[in-house]
Structure 1
Amino acid sequence: MISLPLLLAAVDARAEPTSTLNGMWQLLGACTQSIGGPAASVGSEVTLLFSIKRDGSLQGKPRITHSKLVGDEETQRAFVSEVLTSVARCFPLPITDGLGGAVAGRPLRVRVVNRPKEEGV
């Protein structure tokens, strides 16, 4: 399994398709690091397991393999919903056919954490 470090640089959506795993994780990181959720869910985290197709589109639905949810039941549902909706918007990833062939169908994991907003941001 491949894990995602979330401290990745943003990638221009109009950039050429990436041909490297590092580039693919940068695309996913840029897409997922802006996911938030209700203020009461700060500290919540979810790990998703998913696969992509050769063309960079999502294969099936992501599955939650780990969660640590903060807040009341409604807040927790809102956070999980925000994560699933936002992650779905990340696809299809702009990847080359060669990279697509290398990662297609393989299990990938991404961890999304709702961190407190920094002052002045």
Structure 2
Amino acid sequence: MKRAAGLSAIAGALLAGATCQSNAATLNTMGDVGAAIQACWSPPADAGNSTVTLSFSFKRDGTLIGPPRPRAIKVAGDAKARQAFVDAATAALQNCLPLSFSPALAQGIAGNVFTLQFASPKQ
């Protein structure tokens, strides 16, 4: 239940165009986490209307448990364009790390699997 609420918070923050926080700021909610990651996202040029969803898990220290995994991939173009888009989304996530979680968020975040959609054009 908490995971679903966290995922909804990320989606809500991204769709609402929430003010993005720096990865140096202390993040208190999953909405803050989604906004911080989105601030690092720069889609490749000429990506059309492409999306990729990454799944990943955090450690309490704000780093990832293993590499993010691409899931639903919808990219215009050939295999090279697809790989470039997935690589850009993965780099955006990696470049934001480590995130700084509040003690309360860090306590509940560790080991849960989260998903985040990266879309182009940046919205």
**TM-score w.r.t. length of structure 2:** 0.79
Map of 1:45 onto structure 2: 51
Map of 2:110 onto structure 1: 104
> Which protein is bigger by CA-based radius of gyration?
1
| Alignment of structure 1 residues 36-75 onto 2, 5 Å | 36-39=43-46, 41-75=47-81
| Alignment of structure 1 residues 1-121 onto 2, 5 Å | 1=4, 2-3=7-8, 4-5=10-11, 6=14, 7-15=17-25, 17-32=26-41, 35-39=42-46, 41-115=47-121
For residue 57 of structure 1, report the CA deviation from its aligned partner. Answer: 0.8
Identify the range of structure 1 (46-55 vs 83-92) with the bigger mean alpha-carbon deviation.
83-92
The unaligned stretches of length 5 or more in structure 1 are: none
Tell me how far apart the structure 2 counterparts of residues 29 and 86 of structure 1 sit (CA, whole Å): 8
Root mean square deviation of aligned Cα:
2.0
What is the percent sequence identity of the aligned residues?
A: 28
The unaligned stretches of length 5 or more in structure 2 are: none
For residue 93 of structure 1, report the CA deviation from its aligned partner. Answer: 0.9
Greater helix proportion: 2
Does the 8 Å contact 1:38/1:79 carry over to 2? Answer: no
